[in-house]
Chains A and B, each alone.
Chain A
């Protein structure tokens, strides 16, 4: 048992952090709500009480997974590129522009649109990458600022050139049917995008931990001087990690348009890129853990919407819970005392064992 705890300590700690966060939110609900039992049920079980809400959890998770993996790849190289939001937005806009102006059979159309979106995202990641690698400009600042550029550029493109004038609100022209991602569960909006998201997370994992380029990225992140000393082209890695990051975020944005709305309908930045940062932190930059982190975050979001709709608790509550959980997870010291005790016990057991053998 103790051995098991030690081996999976970080994971267990994360789960406990989540639990503590949820318990605190339960307390909050009891304080705020006039019908606490009912509200609590809506919050915790709301998302699984109806098929459409459960579907919502998965629909929402898909772009978050994309962005989480995108962010994780840059973070693993210690590049604090938080440009996933901008890459996602602009890629979706340019991908949409491309989709509505081309005509071809479904499969090549889908693939080509994704390529265009991916390339847009890649280019968007490349800029902070080069600025950092060649001139040492902080990627945190430049990617952050580029999020605004992406937002206004995307809006300009859609609203001034590809707007659907027959619609009553500001949206792009609808995508032709050949550009839609097929739905996989009838009666919901869950589409192929979630499968793609999971595939990308698995690929991301494989890439980071089993390929030479992934090794270069992680080594550069661990100690860039060591990487350079060993012969790794650090300049290349710094740029590449951000290019890949942008590309994946780009896919995320475009699949959202192609799978859910079938047109570009964002007038505000949707925030998936920021959720990506959150799940990358919760999942400790590990793509597979990010899948679960994204599902969890998405569950919380849907739960809070239900809560807001059905009971007397504001959905802002969910922001509080998120914050608590993230603080707990990122606080290295949380539960470290506990780990110490187990280690100690375990080690003295082993020692005793060894001595009795000897």
Chain B
């Protein structure tokens, strides 16, 4: 078969002086699925952005369909049939799903007006065709990140690209959605399309890809046929050691209830009941996992628990104290920490330095400031320690957060939230987009927190993560708890699936421990 894309000796240096790609060469064969893997900051997204014309490497060239190309901007790339789904989603927040989907290729009424009805019709059609469910007339800003991810994928599919670039498309998809997406990708391949794909989930890579390119330290280490390497071998190539994927031992001792959610309901601004009578407890020394397809009320539940919004009804108590309606500061003061599901929206200020990002919840405390004066010397030292402990790849502690790679930004957020000596940890997609080495570190830290008597609430679209870490699991569907698994040792993803999709339901299920 012929090669569709050749990248020859690309070198990309970012303005701050970071060499993100060094002499990178990749050859992509048409009608194949080609995966790129590598640790956080290895330069994967950089390479994709270079191909798509977002950034312009100083050296090297790109050959597409036998012709040397020099894309000035993504439009040029789109025009010759390249599509891309970015790691950090790029949708217009104030437009609806349908409007985003057809942006740039709008159906028109006359020549001036957007044909909204048609846009909605197209969206429904595309959504059905590819099996990814999206609400056509909702605004993007009102949607959880998993749903946005689906929109972004549909948008690229709808444009019918010849070469489709997907930068971590599955990071926030549930297994069911991932399966559907993979079916779609296989079908696209059969129809003659080519797919370039980045993921940290090696099982996916193995399952999907024909060829695999491994990157490390801005360089390409090797490109292999997928059938020639095992998952372990890929992991080894990436990080140079073996990785532990076994489930956690069950907690040894559990204490009293630390977080208790009682009869919580939430009705949103549009009068939709998003949460219906939610009840659960989390004890000291356990991790309660909540499984569910994104968009079933998890986001609202997290916001309520962390003081970002108040429940319409019900109470939440933390160590016996009612916290419903307290401010984020007050809730944090009581010892709650929160890893948010969307790191770019809530987790960091991308133009601020890492130092400033690390102190957002603690700058007023006495180690960090005295009489209102910030102690920058201490803050710098403190930041450097966190950078080291969490293995964050950055030039310095004063680098703006936005110029780190996706996984490293995630580590900044996790580092902050796990270093405040939290009593209760709300962890939403805690390892989203981090490489397997760092995933292991974060898992160990959550386990340590559990074993030292903290309570952890884990929200994740990644069922393997839920199954690996949780002491108990509840399932949420359409704002209701549909199942409660008290003993997780024998539970598998298959057992959870029907509850997550609303096919099955335990009557009156809840996550309380006395029942």
Contacts and interface: CB of A to CB of B under 8 A. Distances in A.
Interface stretch (B170-178, B341-349, B476-484, B502-510): B341-349
Contacts of B381: none
A351 interface: yes
A298 to B, nearest CB: 31
A222 B15 contact: no
B382 interface: no
A336 B14 CA distance: 12
29 contacts: A211-B369, A211-B372, A211-B373, A211-B374, A212-B369, A213-B372, A215-B356, A218-B356, A219-B352, A222-B356, A223-B348, A223-B350, A226-B346, A226-B349, A227-B360, A228-B308, A228-B328, A229-B306, A229-B328, A229-B346, A230-B360, A230-B361, A231-B332, A339-B15, A340-B58, A343-B17, A344-B13, A346-B17, A347-B18
A222 B349 contact: yes
A230 B327 CA distance: 10
Give the size range of A's interface with the partner: 20 to 34
A347 B14 CA distance: 9
Contacts of B130: none
A305 B359 CA distance: 50
B360 A219 contact: yes
B347 A226 contact: yes
B169 to A, nearest CB: 24
Interface in B323-339: 327-329, 332-333, 338
Interface residues of B, number: 37
B390 interface: no
B376 interface: yes
Q: Which secondary structure characterizes the binding site on chain B?
A: loop
Given A225-B345, A229-B308, A229-B340, A215 B15 contact: no
A350 B17 CA distance: 10
Interface string B309-332: 000000000000000000111001
Of listed A218, A227, A230, residue having the most chain B CB within 10 A: A230
B352 A222 contact: yes
B373 A210 contact: yes
Interface string B8-45: 00000111111100100000000000000000000000
A233 B372 contact: no
Nearest to A339: B15
Contact of B58 (A233, A339, A344): A344
Interface in A331-356: 336, 339-340, 343-344, 346-348, 350-351
A71 to B, nearest CB: 19
Interface string A53-71: 0000000000000000000
B15 A219 contact: no
B364 interface: yes
A260 interface: no
Given A227-B360, A232-B329, 19 more contacts: A6-B17, A210-B376, A211-B369, A211-B373, A215-B359, A219-B356, A222-B349, A222-B351, A222-B356, A229-B308, A229-B347, A229-B360, A232-B360, A233-B329, A336-B15, A343-B15, A346-B17, A350-B17, A351-B22
B290 to A, nearest CB: 20
Contacts of A213: 372
A222 B328 CA distance: 18
A344 B16 CA distance: 10
B13 A225 contact: no
Interface in A1-45: 6
Nearest to B400: A222
Nearest to A346: B17
Contact of B364 (A212, A218, A226): A212
Contact of B374 (A212, A223, A232): A212
A4 B412 CA distance: 29
Interface of A: 6, 210-213, 215, 218-219, 222-223, 225-233, 336, 339-340, 343-344, 346-348, 350-351
Contacts of A232: 329, 360
B349 A351 contact: no
Nearest to A230: B360
Contacts of A231: 327-329, 332-333, 360-361
A159 B234 CA distance: 82
B485 interface: no
A225 B346 contact: yes
Contacts of A225: 345-346
Contacts of B328: 228-231
In the complex, the 6 A-B pairs of residues with the closest C-beta atoms, listed nearest first: A230-B360, A231-B329, A222-B349, A223-B349, A229-B346, A347-B13
Contact of A343 (B13, B333, B364): B13
B349 A215 contact: no
Contacts of A348: 13
Given A226-B346, A344-B13, A347-B13, A215 B363 contact: yes
Nearest to B328: A231
B318 to A, nearest CB: 15
Nearest to B12: A344
B457 to A, nearest CB: 16
A54 to B, nearest CB: 37
Interface string B434-469: 000000000000000000000000000000000000
A343 B328 CA distance: 42
Contact of A212 (B14, B22, B345, B372): B372
Contacts of A339: 15
Given A212-B374, A213-B372, A229-B346, A347 B360 contact: no
Contacts of A212: 363-364, 369, 372-374
Contacts of B373: 210-212
Contacts of A346: 17
Contacts of B349: 219, 222-223, 226-227
B217 to A, nearest CB: 12
A2 to B, nearest CB: 10
B19 A347 contact: yes
A226 B308 contact: no
Interface string B372-384: 1110100000000
Nearest to B348: A226
Nearest to A220: B349
Given A229-B308, A229-B328, A230-B361, A218 B352 contact: yes
Nearest to B361: A230
A225 B14 CA distance: 28
Of listed A231, A233, A344, residue having the most chain B CB within 10 A: A231
A319 to B, nearest CB: 32
Contacts of B19: 347, 351
Contacts of B372: 211-213
Given A226-B360, A340-B58, A210 B15 contact: no
A228 to B, nearest CB: 6
A218 B374 CA distance: 13
A347 B338 CA distance: 38
Contacts of A215: 356, 359, 363, 374
A344 B363 CA distance: 37
